Amino acid sequence: MTEEAEKPRNAEAEDEQEAVSNPLPRWRGFNLLEMFNTRSTGEWEEDDFAWTSDWGFDFVRLPMCYRLWTDPDDVLKIKEEWLAKIDRAVDLGAKHGIHVCLNFHRAPGFSVNKECEEPFNLWKDKEAQAAFCHHWRVFAERYKGTGNISFNLVNEPKRPTYEEMTRGDHERVIRACIAEVKEVDPERLVIVDGISWGRDPLPELADLDVAQSCRAYDPHCISHYKASWAHGEQYDEPVWPDARQGYQVWDRRSLEGLYDQWSDLARQGVGVHCGEGGCFNKTPHDVYLRWFREVLEVLTERSIGWALWNLRGAFGVLDSNREDVEYEEFHGHALDRKLLDLLQEF
């Protein structure tokens, strides 16, 4: 985490940049989902890496499901043919000058994805913790000395509860896993998602040589409007600013308050990146663009990079299937040019 973060393009934010430095580069890019769940194939599209680079971005995050490379009868036994698929993604990143962030979206004993139930609890069960550390140690050994990649240990731990995961449980498991990785590869960049689904930073881990990751989904009444998996049917038609979610009204000041806590972490020397953000395709496009412009402005003022969820799909710049967008044909895909233009501004 020694590279100097890119200066924001907004000249008015220069004073803020001086006050809030970020040890991480301001990486910008997309999440690629070819190993996202148990039905995934791991067949990465080189075009995704090439287009990311051609458009001026330099980062991809790969949310992955550990069950793809694990023997179903032995959680510690790993299938080499699936790790070779991950090798290919790392190689494509190197070929196109893109930083590749490897993420366990489903880790042994935990996932926010409700596709299937885990047989144990990462935060409480020693068997799950041993498997979690083992898998990341295998990755550390495999990629030792490989540049331009980072390890994002586990996607979006939930809000702490006594029954499922206390804050102490989380810290203990994460510290143990970091120790495994750093024993093998002390220079490897490790990124830890904030708790409460990436909303809340972890000052208790500020003493470690790791970065932390936030999210760009708030307020959910905009980003997840009509998203069935997130109870998005409960929200009224989105507006921005003055989006109302429960008793809270969201506007530019609310966004600034949300990310100020991450700026505080950066002032302690902890690198910060926003690993996911974006908006489901049911939100009116003009509302999405107004809201996300302010999100990107606030992140840029704090020198925080970001990765859109996703490149291709309902949140993406390609093939999002919105009903209120005039798409541009792009190599057999439907391109949301207005969204891409917005992202390229930042």
Is the residue at 78 inside a domain? Answer: yes
Is the residue at 198 inside a domain? Answer: yes
Residue 155 CB partners (closer than 8 Å, separation 6+) = 63, 103, 104, 105, 106, 107, 111, 112, 193
Dig out the tokens for 344 from the structure. 């390229």
Is the residue at 137 inside a domain? Answer: yes
pTM over 0.75: yes
Is the residue at 34 inside a domain? Answer: yes
Is the residue at 176 inside a domain? Answer: yes
Position 17 scores a pLDDT of 42
* Reduced 3-state DSSP string for the chain: CCCCCCCCCCHHHHHHHHHCCCCCCCCEEEECCCCCCCCCCCCCCHHHHHHHHHCCCCEEEEEEEHHHHEECCEEEEECHHHHHHHHHHHHHHHHCCCEEEEEEEEECCEECCCCCCCCCCCCCCHHHHHHHHHHHHHHHHHHCCCCCEEEECCCCCCCCECCCECHHHHHHHHHHHHHHHHHHCCCCEEEEECHHHHCECCHHHCCCCCEEEEEECCCHHHHCCCCHHHCHHHCCCCCCCCEEECCEEECHHHHHHHHHHHHHHHHCCCCEEEEEECCCCCCCHHHHHHHHHHHHHHHHHCCCEEEECCCECCCCCECCCCCCCCCEEECCEEECHHHHHHHHHC
Per-residue tens of pLDDT for the chain, all 346 residues: 433 334 344 444 444 444 568 999 999 999 999 999 999 999 999 999 999 999 999 999 999 999 999 999 999 999 999 999 999 999 999 999 999 999 999 999 999 999 999 999 999 999 999 999 999 999 999 999 999 999 999 999 999 999 999 999 999 999 999 999 999 999 999 999 999 999 999 999 999 999 999 999 999 999 999 999 999 999 999 999 999 998 999 999 999 999 999 999 999 999 999 999 999 999 999 999 999 999 999 999 999 999 999 999 999 999 999 999 999 999 999 999 999 999 999 9
Please list, residue by residue across 24-42, b when 16 or more beta carbons sit within 10 angstroms of its beta carbon and e when fewer do.
Answer: bbbbbbbbbbbbbbeebeb
Is the residue at 330 inside a domain? Answer: no
Cα–Cα distances in angstroms (integers) from residue 157 to residues 67, 143, 164, 210, 254, in the given order: 18, 25, 10, 17, 23
Q: How many domains would you assign to the chain?
A: 1
Position 273 scores a pLDDT of 98
Phi and psi angles of residue 342, each rounded to the nearest 5 degrees, phi first: -60, -50
CATH of the domain at 104: 3.20.20.80
Position 21 scores a pLDDT of 87
Task: Show the domain range for 73.
Answer: 11-317
Nearest to 257 by CA among 292, 308, 207, 219: 219
Position 20 scores a pLDDT of 65
Is the residue at 324 inside a domain? Answer: no
Is the residue at 342 inside a domain? Answer: no
